[in-house]
A = this chain, B = another copy of it.
């Protein structure tokens, strides 16, 4: 059994309160006593006990705010499931979650929603937002005012965010290309469907994809690229037009949402057997298309893990007395084909 504050107090000949003050760098302790106590704690190899901390922490419960642009975007369902699992496991430890959801990627809308969380009394934030100047400035202000922030799914550069919890977009794209290279032998006539050319994650996937195709010396020709704008109907229309105009297309790489729309176009034209289809992420409709053999494979990023870990890490950070900033957590790049998608 390990060292307790009580033991340190006895050895140091002071009270538990004083030891506590020293260990938390709180003022009001004579320097020489502080030094003395700290030395004893170190010598004894003191490690605070989580169970005790947690129980005591219940007097000041922790409210964590979560923000996602998840309305109308099924991808985030699993992130939310991860949030909820963490909330369940930590509710006994005094943790509450507040979830704010919005639709789309308007900076003003995001800022207002996040502000709402703070006004609701959240002492910490897990957010998935866009990495723009305006939002960075806003978040840095919150961080300076003492509200720690973890970036989920999309990193926030040049901010004081504690850490990034999400996937490696470059690796995801690269993995799609690596697997395609194992499958394809003939020349590829490629259609790339992205979400938005403004989204760094989508661009990174395409960069990783192209780079690895080149490295592997896969002979390919890029026939066309279009943005699906997270809209299945629009993706369908665009794909239909492009496929009609280009009967030579034999591979479609869908780097973001709009998967079902693109696939609808392909099956309507009855070309699913002549075209490799690769996608990212794993929402219900995508899963179904993989199971039906329309999509050859999809590259996932463990979104549930992202939600779960970000909340857990925030809790740990608070439990450590905001001393130990967590490291980035990069989720696995997972390959799903028909046989292992469920």
Contact = CB atoms under 8 A, between A and B. Distances in A.
Interface in A288-342: 296-297, 332-340
Contacts of A2: 91
Nearest to A172: B340
Nearest to A168: B340
A23 B171 CA distance: 52
B58 A337 contact: no
Contact of A339 (B185, B212, B334, B337): B212
B339 A174 contact: yes
A147 to B, nearest CB: 23
Contact of A185 (B91, B185, B336, B340): B185
Interface in A34-60: 47, 49-52, 54-55, 58
A182 interface: yes
Contact of A337 (B1, B185, B335): B335
Contacts of A54: 51, 54
Nearest to A180: B182
A203 interface: no
Interface of A: 1-2, 47, 49-52, 54-55, 58, 61, 91-94, 171, 174-175, 177-179, 182-183, 185, 212, 296-297, 332-340
Given A54-B51, A93-B51, A338 B185 contact: no
Contacts of A58: 1, 51
Contacts of A61: 1
A50 B340 contact: no
A182 B92 contact: no
Contacts of A92: 47, 49-51
Nearest to A57: B51
Nearest to A177: B339
A296 B216 CA distance: 13
B178 A339 contact: yes
Contact of A340 (B1, B47, B296, B335): B335
A334 B334 contact: yes
Given A1-B58, A334-B334, 15 more contacts: A1-B61, A49-B92, A50-B93, A51-B54, A51-B93, A171-B340, A175-B340, A178-B340, A179-B337, A182-B183, A182-B296, A182-B297, A185-B185, A333-B340, A335-B335
A52 B334 CA distance: 38
A232 B94 CA distance: 52
30 contacts: A1-B58, A1-B61, A2-B91, A50-B93, A51-B54, A51-B55, A51-B58, A51-B92, A51-B94, A52-B55, A54-B54, A171-B339, A174-B339, A175-B337, A175-B339, A178-B337, A178-B339, A179-B337, A179-B339, A182-B183, A182-B297, A182-B337, A212-B339, A332-B334, A333-B339, A333-B340, A334-B334, A334-B335, A334-B340, A335-B336
